Amino acid sequence: MDYRNLYEEWLSNEYFDQATRDELLSIKDDENEIKERFYTELEFGTAGLRGVIGAGLNRMNIYTVRKATQGLANYILKVGKAEKGVAIAYDSRRMSPEFADEAALCLGANGIKAYVFESLRPTPELSYAVRKLGCIAGINITASHNPPEYNGYKVYWEDGAQITPPHDTGIMAEVKAVTDFNTVKTMDKQAAVAAGLYQVIGAEIDDAYIAELKKQVKNPEAIKAMGKELKIVYTPLHGTGNIPARRVLKEIGFENVYVVPEQELPDGEFPTVSYPNPEAAEAFTLALALAKEKDADLVLATDPDADRLGVYVKDTKSGEYITLTGNMSGCLLAEYEISQIKEKQGLPSDGALIKTIVTSNLADAIASHYNIRLIEVLTGFKFIGQQILNFETTGKGTYLFGFEESYGCLIGTHARDKDAIVATMALCEAAAYYRTQGKTLWDAMIDMYEKYGYYKDAVKSITLKGIEGLAKIQEIMETLRNNTPEQIGSYKVLSARDYKKDTVRNMETGEVTSTGLPSSNVLYYDLPDNAWLCVRPSGTEPKIKLYYGVKGTSLEDAEKKSDELGEMVEALIK
């Protein structure tokens, strides 16, 4: 059925409510909009669903959410784990509570109990709740840091991580098999509650989660000494982080936490930012103004679902606030956490630092220094969670720290996803610890560069929206795949990795070996002097992403090399 017929079907089918049909009628004269909404289904991929909210097959709405949940329910029934139930959380976005209820009532109609948070909660708490409650799966309604017109639907498995093989492909197949909306089950909410299929959860999980976070404190005496002095500015960017971040900081002893008032309360319109992403400088405008007013030592921002943490630190020599990229804050925390484990109890012989393939090579240097194993995984924190599960099931391997360049890390194993609440706590603790030595976090960063080398990593994202954009992204990837560059600007390509073909080609000898990782549409080029480039389509946004890194002899040298490589990289895909 072509897109026009599908559009007419939605207009005439009484299964879809009047509001949905009215919205579709309002675009009856806009052929391109009709095509965008119906030319394809909103794809249920390995990260679940993510898309623009609205009526239509290629949009986030109660019907596409129900359909995805019916597929998930079918898979749970197939593996015989319905009695374990499913935990459901949601963020501050438009329609998030409604989508959470639609998912819960579809599960209930399939005889699967839903544990639904009473109000918005961070992503890492949902990950924690899945394991705490012994659920078979979890659903989180969030579009993370996307613009306000988006929402999403992430699925977690019983280990608390987002779905990985074989469950991801199994669930995707079941969702795809649901071809008739009329076969999707739902039920009345009151009936679901009465039948014990819908249970509200809240404070008991909050308390247990915060208790787990507090176990990760390495230097309580440093917090006791500096908790009254250190000044912290924090913004939840209208999202889920406000209550848990403030709570944990208060309970461990930080007294001067200033929250940006304009961004404190949940608001799915994100009125103070165009893009609620702590990677974006714009997100910090209000926080930095407050920091200057309060003379704060560090400035922190969590994204709407509180799995990513953005950071600015004060350089007392210049008086300026300096932004830390996700690579920088991740490496700073890795160095702090691993050094403190070594000092307090000694490092285990099977200790591991885990990073994604697009994350800084500075992590490799840290792992080498501490003589611990470095494990590299595909992009997506679920692959870090998969490694933690493997450690637990085999009894081999001890998780010390894991992070990815996109501002996400996990300290401890209470969750199996990025946790910006525990990262907020740990970064404040690290600031207190270094302050007892007369240092700022920026001083600690420079110390680390002097110790390991001045690594600098960057990413360029090129947005290509719509059908044409998707085709262009695929064209770029295939052109590079079929024509491996021997030179990128002034850099000779030493080896080329194609994670889709599972090949690593030595460009000098022609020898081909395996990547050792699952298939993924990613290309990676190793360059001389610790430089590198990686190209991949975004899994959640209409973008192609170009990651690259260099190693310099100073901040200035690294900056110069990074800028030069950045220009070469852009030229490569034009």
Query: What's the burial of 549, exposed, middle or buried (CB within 10 Å: 0-12/13-18/19+)?
Result: buried
CB-CB neighbours of 267 under 10 Å:
19
Query: Which long-range CB contacts under 8 A does 563-571 form with residues at least 24 apart?
Result: 564/489, 564/490, 565/488, 565/489, 565/491, 565/531, 565/533, 566/458, 566/460, 567/489, 568/488, 568/489, 568/490, 568/491, 569/460, 569/488, 569/489, 569/533, 570/460, 570/546, 571/489
Collapsing DSSP states into helix, strand and coil, what is residue 113? coil
DSSP assignment, residue 296? -
Is residue 144 part of the annotated active site? The answer reads yes
Cα dihedral sign for 8, 9, 14, 16?
Answer: negative
Q: Are 328 and 444 in contact (CB under 8 A)?
A: no
Cis peptide before 518 (omega within 30 of 0): no
Cα–Cα distance, 568 to 565 (Å, whole number) = 5
Choose the catalytic residue: 92, 144, 495, 562.
Answer: 144
Q: Are 58 and 37 in contact (CB under 8 A)?
A: yes
Q: Are 39 and 7 in contact (CB under 8 A)?
A: no
Q: Which residues are catalytic?
A: 144
